[in-house]
Structure 1
Amino acid sequence: MKTYVDHINYQVTDLDRISALMRQLGYVEIRRTEHHGGAVEMKNPAQPELVLEFTLIRDGEKPGFNHICFGLEGEQDVASLKASGFPLTGDLHFSSGSGRYITNFKDPDGNKWQITC
């Protein structure tokens, strides 16, 4: 199974402000979506395979790190993980807001991680 880091998600209070800040570091905005109340995805042309995703905080949430998402080659890889007892917290499902198939898992310390294919 081949895995890679697909994106890193941070929750913020203002998408335009974080986008402007990241542009100063050389990142470019690649898309905005409506999921999680609003999101912006950005890439650095020097490292185009990695996406930084910023989502708006919602009630009860705090700004800052939310999760890292690992990309897998396909649904079969996710099914193999599930069959092996990997601690997925739900089934692979399509997120219409982000346009990705995703599922989550928690590490032994209770931190959220995500998988997409």
Structure 2
Amino acid sequence: MLTKLDHIDIKAADFDATVRTLLDMGLVITRRAPAPRNSVEMSLPGENQVVLEIHPAKEGGFTGIHHIAFQTDGGDLEALKAKGITFKTENMLIKDTGRTVSSFSDPNGLTWQLTD
């Protein structure tokens, strides 16, 4: 079962300016991941806040929301596959966070992610 909105992954053309703007808005940095991941995780202060994970966009590459991730208690992957959803990645370990993620695209091409 999905338990909460976990994070929103954003590709920013001007990484530093985006981070500064979010800091100015009152968000705090909760984690920095060095290259090759090269991201900053930010959230509103306090417990159980949704995380914004900011990555620098590649030169001339996509900018905007890359994916939205939901935390799950474990049964959703198989349940969604049984409903015909095809996953691009399944239970892929992210070394920087120690968490696993599974990703799929909906009919509009939007990317969604499940994480533990």
Counterpart in the other structure of 1:49 = 49
TM norm structure 2: 0.82
Offset at 1:91? 1.8
What percentage of residue pairs aligned between the two structures are identical?
33
Aligned equivalents of 2:3, 2:103: Cα separation in 1: 15
Q: Given residue 16 of structure 2, which amino acid in structure 1 is its aligned partner?
A: D
Superposition RMSD on alpha carbons, in Å? 2.3
Counterpart in the other structure of 2:61 = 61
TM norm structure 1: 0.81
User: Secondary structure of the residue that 1:26 maps to in structure 2?
Assistant: coil
Aligned equivalents of 2:61, 2:54: Cα separation in 1: 14
User: Secondary structure of the residue that 2:89 maps to in structure 1?
Assistant: coil
Counterpart in the other structure of 2:108 = 109
Q: Given residue 38 of structure 2, which amino acid in structure 1 is its aligned partner?
A: G
Aligned equivalents of 1:66, 1:98: Cα separation in 2: 18
Structure 2, unpaired ranges of 5+: none
Counterpart in the other structure of 1:23 = 23
Counterpart in the other structure of 1:81 = 80
Aligned equivalents of 1:65, 1:36: Cα separation in 2: 19
More helix per residue: 1
Residues 6 and 43 of structure 1: CA distance in aligned 2, closer, same or farther (over 3 Å): same
Structure 1, unpaired ranges of 5+: none
Q: Is the 8 Å Cα contact of residues 34 and 98 (structure 1) preserved in structure 2? A: no
Residues 9 and 35 of structure 1: CA distance in aligned 2, closer, same or farther (over 3 Å): farther
Number of residue pairs aligned between Structure 1 and Structure 2: 116
Aligned equivalents of 1:35, 1:79: Cα separation in 2: 33
